[in-house]
Amino acid sequence: MEKRIYLTTPIYYINARPHIGHAYTTILCDVVRRFYRLLGFETYFLTGTDEHGDKILRAAKENRREPKEYADEISGLFYKLWPTLHIQSDDFIRTTEPRHKKVVQRILQTIYDKGDIYHARYGGYYCTGCERFYTEKELVDGKCPDHLKEPEWIEEENYFFKMSAYQDWLIEYINAHPDFIRPERYKNEILSFLKEPLKDLCISRPKSRLPWGITLPFDEEYVTYVWFDALVNYISSIEYPGGDLYEKFWHVVNHYIAKDILKPHGIYWPCMLKAAGIPPFKHLNVHGWWSMDKRKMSKSLGNVVEPLDLAKKYGVDPFRYFLLKDMSFGLDADFSEENLVKRFNSDLANDFGNLIKRVIDMIAKYCEGVIPECEAPTEEDNALTDSLEKLGKSVPSLLDNLKFNELLERIMKVIRATNKYINDQAPWTLNKLKNIPRLHTVLFTAAKTSARCAKLLLPVMPEKCLEALSLFGIGDQDETTWETGFSAGNKVIQGTTLFPKISLPKLAGKKEETMQEESQTTEFIEYEDFTKVKLATAKILNAERVPKTDKLMRLDIDLGFEKRQIVAGIATDYTPSELVGKSIVVVVNLKPRKLRGLESRGMLLAAHGKEGFSLVSVDRDVEPGSSIS
């Protein structure tokens, strides 16, 4: 099999700042390309901006700017945003660049010379949002179905591309290549559209109405239709015709788009390519929409989420992980910050981050910080290693089948299995029993699996996973192989929490109500269950921070019938002097446990509010040890 892939995102309109929808497709392509790179593929990844047409001219005017100057600014926002989201493309194409214009004009001339472009008078409903004419039948209640606005009736002389001549060819081609457009539902959508006679495509705009575009090579009075210009970016970037990149990558191109632009990609583009004598693209991969409250996120609907704000708040890599994990390719997904936080806490803080931390901490504690040798692996160790092997083998087919969230879930499963393996093998007990060979084998196996999982997640979270790998004493990573460079004898680095758990953010208005509603639907317990918990008041006699921790406070408390020591995680919100003398509420009959070597006999109650912890107390003076029911 040829190990080469060319990935493209749509080139984005520059009438608006980038939002989470743009970020999704671009992050997705970056992730997919990094996975293929790890599989040893030669890759090429293109993104860019679509800068001509009505929409852009209008936006420039609204901002009182010259179109080119405006285009430079907004295109610059996209260009600068991508590296901050850990996206590395090989090229960033702008349709205002001479290298692109040259190819667009060449294609137009070729098709014109072939006789597939003609001149005629035309009238139609024109939506400036979509930059295309609609037939009456396509409108919903007289409005554009995407922009929910009434289109303008426009009548003028224009040039037309004989798309109708390619209808039969396209139907046949799609039927003969079932994975040309995928997932299948989008292929079916195109085929069902092609059941109706295909109309010729108006591919020009008179300069008198729209001067902002690429001039038709055969008529100075017109510019070309923005889609006839934009789609060509996929070949102009790779130096069509004859360029090395074109020769190397065109036949392995995978276009990634959302369903909003299915028709231009699924119909116009293959017909244009065919007419120009260029082989069709390999795959058109179509994903669903991110919506907010079930409506597509878009500038015109005013419900966009800014990707950088979220990446800054929660970290770029977790944000990438969330987007990939919470959308099933091809289907829509509703965005919510609450879901992002939940995903972060469950998969990254509790599962992946926790695994790395506990493995590193145990190697520090039981092996003086040096990764031990694997002595004699048992069935359990081999089972874990095998599950990893199996996962590695499934990567190519999961990628080929666009099962990105499933791939991440499978990696998470191995991570959870490794956490379970540690619980089952209990290195702490092995240490107590002085079973050193077994202790070493377990820690080696857990560490090696954790490092490999970090490498598997590297395409999604490049920065965090490199950091995770560095904690195992592994330096630079070769991003073209799954090998990690993990080895016994490396010194681990302790003290890093890769994904500190986050509390649910302040979510405005309606969202907050939903959260309250949700919390009110908690399962009920019996009164007897509650009575098992012995609560009593206590007075704090002494308080001191536990050295080398941020959160822990050691407290001496008076329970009336006895004095006790408890350890509580409130040091971020209280100073010792604030605590001494306070009356608090304590769970008296909680099994004692050790925290940082200190025994805690009981637990104080505190409310976890938006600003942090607030101690629970009673509203009148009662003697310490009073029971609470």
Q: Does 54 bind ligand MSP (CB under 6 A)?
A: no
Q: Does 132 bind ligand MSP (CB under 6 A)?
A: no
Cβ pair 298, 290 in contact under 8 A? no
Residues recorded for the chain: 629
Site string for ligand MSP, 297-316 (x = CB under 6 A): xx------------------
Q: Does 13 bind ligand MSP (CB under 6 A)?
A: yes
In the complex, least distance from residue 335 CB atom to ligand MSP, rounded to whole angstroms: 8
* Strand ordering across the sheet containing 117-127: 132-134, 117-127, 152-161, 201-202
> How many angstroms separate the CA atoms of 295 and 261, rounded?
17
Side-chain-side CA neighbours of residue 407 (13 Å): 25
- The catalytic residue among 255, 259, 296, 440 is 296
* Window of 176-184, 296-304, 307-315, 418-426 that interacts with ligand MSP by CB under 6 A: 296-304
Q: Does 81 bind ligand MSP (CB under 6 A)?
A: no
* 19 noted as active-site residue: yes
Q: Which residues of 11-43 are buried (b: 16+ CB within 10 A; e: fewer)?
A: bbbbbbebbbbbbbbbbbbbbbbbbbbbbebeb
Q: In one letter, which amino acid is 516?
A: Q
Give the nearer residue to ligand MSP in terms of CB position, either 60 or 261.
Answer: 261
Task: Write out the H or E segment, with its range, that includes residue 126.
Answer: strand 117-127
In the complex, least distance from residue 201 CB atom to ligand MSP, rounded to whole angstroms: 14
Nearest to 416 by CA among 502, 351, 480: 351
Helix axes 307-314, 20-38, angle to 10 degrees: 60
Among 27, 45, 50, 89, binds ligand MSP (CB under 6 A): 50
Give the nearer residue to ligand MSP in terms of CB position, either 261 or 546.
Answer: 261
Residues 6+ apart with CB under 8 A from 624: 536, 537, 538, 539, 557, 558, 559, 560, 583
- The catalytic residue among 29, 130, 367, 374 is 130
* Window of 119-127, 169-177, 289-297, 615-623 that interacts with ligand MSP by CB under 6 A: 289-297
- The catalytic residue among 147, 149, 248, 282 is 147
* 296 noted as active-site residue: yes
Number of residues in contact with ligand MSP under rule CB under 6 A: 21
- The catalytic residue among 299, 342, 403, 582 is 299
Give the nearer residue to ligand MSP in terms of CB position, either 283 or 438.
Answer: 283
241 prior amide bond cis, ω within 30: yes
Give strand pairing partners of 255.
8, 284
Q: In one letter, which amino acid is 529?
A: D
457 phi and psi, to 5 degrees? -90, -5
Site string for ligand MSP, 161-190 (x = CB under 6 A): ------------------------------
Q: Does 52 bind ligand MSP (CB under 6 A)?
A: no
> How many angstroms separate the CA atoms of 537 and 587, rounded?
9
In the complex, least distance from residue 322 CB atom to ligand MSP, rounded to whole angstroms: 14
Cβ pair 540, 582 in contact under 8 A? yes
* 374 noted as active-site residue: no
Give the nearer residue to ligand MSP in terms of CB position, either 51 or 116.
Answer: 51
Report how far apart, in Å, the C-alpha atoms of 145 and of each of 264, 449, 536 are.
16, 50, 63
- The catalytic residue among 127, 271, 374, 465 is 127
* 271 noted as active-site residue: no
In the complex, least distance from residue 13 CB atom to ligand MSP, rounded to whole angstroms: 4
* 251 noted as active-site residue: no
DSSP for residue 2: -
* 299 noted as active-site residue: yes
Q: Does 107 bind ligand MSP (CB under 6 A)?
A: no
- The catalytic residue among 29, 144, 374, 465 is 144
Give the 3-state DSSP-derived string for 59-95, with helices as H, strands as E and coil as C: HHHHCCCCHHHHHHHHHHHHHHHHHHCCCCCCEEEEC
Among 45, 133, 290, 444, binds ligand MSP (CB under 6 A): 290
- Its sign, for the CA torsion 620, 624, 627, 629, is positive
* 147 noted as active-site residue: yes
Give the nearer residue to ligand MSP in terms of CB position, either 48 or 427.
Answer: 48
Nearest to 236 by CA among 107, 111, 103: 103
* 413 noted as active-site residue: no
Give the nearer residue to ligand MSP in terms of CB position, either 158 or 237.
Answer: 237
Q: Does 352 bind ligand MSP (CB under 6 A)?
A: no
In the complex, least distance from residue 234 CB atom to ligand MSP, rounded to whole angstroms: 7
In the complex, least distance from residue 150 CB atom to ligand MSP, rounded to whole angstroms: 20
In the complex, least distance from residue 26 CB atom to ligand MSP, rounded to whole angstroms: 8
Of residues 19 through 48, those in contact with ligand MSP by CB under 6 A are 21-22, 24-25
In the complex, least distance from residue 297 CB atom to ligand MSP, rounded to whole angstroms: 4
Q: Does 345 bind ligand MSP (CB under 6 A)?
A: no
Of residues 218 through 277, those in contact with ligand MSP by CB under 6 A are 230-231, 233, 257-258, 260-261
SS3 content of the chain, % helix, strand, coil (to 5): 45, 20, 35
Nearest to 461 by CA among 90, 9, 35: 35
In the complex, least distance from residue 344 CB atom to ligand MSP, rounded to whole angstroms: 21
> How many angstroms separate the CA atoms of 337 and 360, rounded?
31
In the complex, least distance from residue 621 CB atom to ligand MSP, rounded to whole angstroms: 58
In the complex, which residue's CB is closest to ligand MSP? Answer: 21
Among 249, 250, 289, 344, binds ligand MSP (CB under 6 A): 289
First-to-final CA distance of the chain? 70
Active-site residue list: 19, 22, 127, 130, 144, 147, 296, 299
Binding site for ligand MSP (CB under 6 A): 10-13, 21-22, 24-25, 50, 230-231, 233, 257-258, 260-261, 289-290, 296-298
